[in-house]
Structure 1
């Protein structure tokens, strides 16, 4: 289109072509934006244009799906007014949350939200046994959208486009300890999902304390990174604290990362991970719903899908638990040909898929298991699906 994209932009700096494209995209997404009205801002829509090179035909289905995800996961009711609100929300979701390293620091000097992930503090071999894959995906989407809500509030005040800056701290990284392929596989799925629903939200990703194997580590994640994401990654050397202070402001960084922001510990409220204790790991013994005798089986052929149809009334809850015999399946729920629970690619090697959804309307609901990505092998799914009265 010949329009130069840049991150440092004020809404008043948008040129006529950009404004025309925003209007066109808003018109094409009008019904979707009614489902998630707080997203209906010029700068929110502008991110999609930047992220997909102004190709509106490509953007519309992707943005439509993202908005349906936000709506179906209940983010309309997700009230966020501060960084601490996000922190407390995460901790309340699962006892495993403290073992997922990371947390928001606050804002930088330009109004961008700052997130720090001391990735090497994780213990992948136990972390993957702590919670269902969908719970991790839902939680991560909720936390990023919570940060996006704060950014939209900032943009409404200042008119200046903001985003998220990430500090990826690899201090203590061990290839043998942290490259656990089952966990890596799920992490790559998460990266793909986040990039799909939050285009152009990442402003910068700094890697600090990189190990000598950083090139190998980067090559593992590189295939799922969008070109735009790759361009925003910077691996820092020994002067990383000075660079972070210059870019973010010392007053916005905890002491562990070179700043002077007051906190009870040098890490502030950043979760530090660690080995997940046995009592936090998932066990069917602690879940009465995980009852083998009450499960049914369904086979999903390669390049195919299988479905379960159930009737439910408005206000009733659909509850499910299932295990896949091997690999993963795409799981979703539909009503009146519309997706009402988003498609997530689910593996249950360590923890079964567990979830629930309150029905907004009465009628027939379709529980969908898809194996379209499976080229050769069928998959058996043992499941329990029930409808509970309001």
Structure 2
């Protein structure tokens, strides 16, 4: 199905909003988001099928009320996903942070899978609390990260730019983290659709063929279409999308800001 024209999309958003109002699924102040950008993300995730998008929205609203036994709002307000007691150790054993933007103003999300060590991680944080940190980080993207990026760019930014670095990553680490990766993909696809604009996997090792045969089964076809898998010769590709001063020197850019990008503790400003 080809994407609708701008005129048709506007009409579909209007119909979708009316459907959600009629079914009491949207209210002023809902933290899922009530703007057109949020609605169109759910529509895109279901190929602009109003019935399917409405079902997805209703299911996500129910998840938001029940996640963690308290709901996403209480989880999110109880603890800053970028600054909590275990955050430093979490970063040590699952390095992931936001670092500047690409040329379109999309926030860069960098993940170093070679640094993942689940047994060590769980010596410092419980699996439940780590999962809640993954969930609240996902929640922060539409609530805080994207609004901040959009204000800075002076336009609506359409998603994040994800870089997953597999240097030093192997099958042992994958088997340790596979359930968390699977659950994370499912959670974000179901509740934070169309939040990722670009996804580059770099330094993919030979063993990644085996890993990818498993991982791709968990990923929606719309997301798969956004993923590019590169080996060690990736720098020129990244630099077509990212200015050198915004890309860490370790990845072929010129940025040398401290603490692996200097942004790992920085919390995006609230609206």
TM-score, reference length from structure 1: 0.58
Shift of 1:205: 1.1
RMSD across aligned positions (CA): 2.9
The structure 1 residue matched to 2:218, chosen from 194, 217, 224, is: 224
Residues 224-263 of structure 1 correspond to what in structure 2 (within 5 A)? 224-263=218-257
Within the candidate set 160, 163, 178, 2:159 is matched to 163
| Structure 1 residue 153, shift from structure 2 partner | 4.7
Give the aligned partner of residue 174 of structure 2. Answer: 179
With over 3 angstroms needed to count, the CA separation of the structure-2 counterparts of 1:187 and 1:50, relative to structure 1, is: same
After TM superposition, list the pairs within 5 Å mapping 1:301-320 onto structure 2.
none
Alpha-carbon distance in 1 for matches of 2:182, 2:32: 29
The answer to whether the aligner puts 1:22 opposite 2:4 as a matched pair is no
Give 1:154 shift.
4.3
Match of 1:73 in 2: 72
- Report the counterpart of residue 82 of structure 2 in structure 1: 90
Which whole-Å CA distance do the structure 2 matches of 1:93 and 1:58 have between them?
40
Structure with more strand by fraction: 1
For residue 207 of structure 1, report the CA deviation from its aligned partner. 0.8
User: Given that residues 108 and 252 in structure 1 are in contact (C-alpha distance below 8 angstroms), is that contact kept between their aligned partners in structure 2?
Assistant: yes
The size of the alignment, in residue pairs, is 253
Pair 1:57 & 2:56 matched: no
Q: Is the 8 A contact 2:99 2:261 kept in 1?
A: no
* Bigger Rg, structure 1 or 2: 1
Cα 1:242–1:227, aligned 2, differ >3 Å: closer, same or farther? same
For each residue in 1:322-367, what CA deviation from the matched residue of structure 2 results, as whole angstroms up to 9, or x when unmatched?
Answer: xxxxxxxxxxxxxxxxxxxxxxxxxxxxxxxxxxxxxxxxxxxxxx
In structure 2, the partner of 1:32 is: 25
Pick the aligned partner of 2:140 from 143, 146, 171: 146
Q: After TM superposition, give the deviation of residue 76 of structure 1 in Å.
A: 10
Give the superposition deviation at 1:202: 1.0
Return the TM-score normalized by structure 2: 0.81
SS in 2 for 1:90: coil
Q: Which residue of 2 is the match for residue 388 of structure 1? A: none
**Counterpart-to-counterpart distance in 2, 1:50 and 1:152:** 20
For residues 158-181 of structure 1, what are the alpha-carbon distances to aligned partners after superposition, in whole Å with 9 as ceiling and x for unaligned? 444420111000111222x31335
Which ranges of structure 2 fall in alignment gaps of 5 or more residues?
Answer: 66-70, 266-271
Residue 36 of structure 1, CA deviation: 1.4
